[in-house]
């Protein structure tokens, strides 16, 4: 049994919690808690997630509350409210929670975040920049490209295709007038839920201040969010003929993350995404 000296704890059981951290349900005299553990992690590992969850709480976004965090002999840990999962209901409620997140503006007026993104296989600095293009293209995609090259996953031919794709992305993002708002940063259906009481929740953020389209694009990579989610979110958003292309940039990002992390099972998806960007663009 993992010993983190949690008051009143009498049992702890492993539960599913993603592929970055180990996750546990902790049974205590006061009720259950949710525990994330990064073995060997340091005191900085959960900084960004904690900051994101606290911003959610301050702005009344439905999310687990941070109860405790620190480092023990087991590693870095994060203790949260335990929310009993129910069946999925009206996904418009999830879209409205996401809208609330995106209404939180960057206090500096810049893009980035106070703490770095820390993942199991790659990290990003999140250093504040004047433009979204700098954060997304230079600090995210280019860093991923370097990792794929260093890991011998990409050949010189792949790198040449990326450079052509990068030129398109650069041109489109230079035309986009982005506002820095808080992003969930890792929006897939595994990081959203409904409680047994029927409330929509967002959790496990990888926060940064960026363009809201990033979350929407990332959310489309894996199935789970339905048409009502997107209709509700986009209901009052001005149409933009270049949006579909930009959303593909964010799908490419997440697919490149997975290619780096899991290998060639994502190669065809990455290749197809770059092909779509190049074939649909006049900025080649």
Angle between helices 142-150 and 156-175 (to 10 degrees): 170
CA dist 19 to 73, 117, 166, 263, Å?
Answer: 21, 15, 29, 15
C-alpha distance across the termini of the chain, in Å: 57
Is the Cβ–Cβ distance between 248 and 279 less than 8 Å? no
7 is catalytic: no
| Catalytic-labelled residue, pool 146, 158, 186, 227 | 186
| CA–CA dist 14, 29 (Å, integer) | 18
| CA–CA dist 172, 177 (Å, integer) | 10
Which residues form the catalytic set? 186
């Amino acid at each position: 049994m993992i010993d983190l000296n949690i008051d009143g704890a009498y049992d702890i059981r492993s539960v599913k919690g993603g592929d970055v951290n180990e996750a546990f349900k902790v049974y205590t005299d006061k009720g259950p808690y949710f525990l994330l553990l990064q073995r060997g992690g340091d005191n900085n590992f959960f900084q960004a997630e904690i900051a994101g969850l606290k911003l959610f709480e301050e702005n009344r976004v439905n999310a687990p509350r941070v109860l405790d965090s620190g480092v023990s002999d087991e590693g870095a840990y994060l203790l949260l409210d335990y929310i009993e999962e129910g069946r999925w209901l009206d996904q418009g409620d999830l879209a409205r929670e996401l809208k609330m997140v995106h209404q939180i503006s960057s206090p500096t007026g810049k893009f980035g975040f106070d703490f770095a993104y820390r993942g199991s296989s790659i990290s990003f600095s999140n250093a504040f920049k004047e433009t979204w293009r700098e954060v997304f293209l230079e600090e995210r995609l280019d860093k991923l490209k370097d990792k794929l090259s260093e890991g011998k996953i990409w050949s010189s031919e792949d790198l040449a295709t990326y450079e052509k794709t990068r030129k398109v992305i650069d041109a489109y993002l230079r035309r986009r007038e982005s506002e820095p708002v808080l992003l969930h940063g890792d929006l897939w259906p595994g990081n959203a839920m409904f409680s047994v009481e029927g409330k929509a929740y967002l959790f496990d953020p990888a926060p940064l201040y960026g363009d809201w389209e990033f979350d929407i694009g990332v959310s489309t990579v894996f199935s789970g969010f339905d048409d009502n989610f997107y209709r509700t979110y986009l209901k009052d958003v001005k149409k933009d003929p270049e949006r579909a292309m930009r959303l593909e940039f964010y799908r490419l990002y997440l697919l490149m993350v997975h290619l780096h992390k899991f290998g060639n099972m994502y190669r065809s998806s990455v290749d197809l995404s770059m092909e779509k960007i190049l074939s649909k663009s006049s900025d080649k």
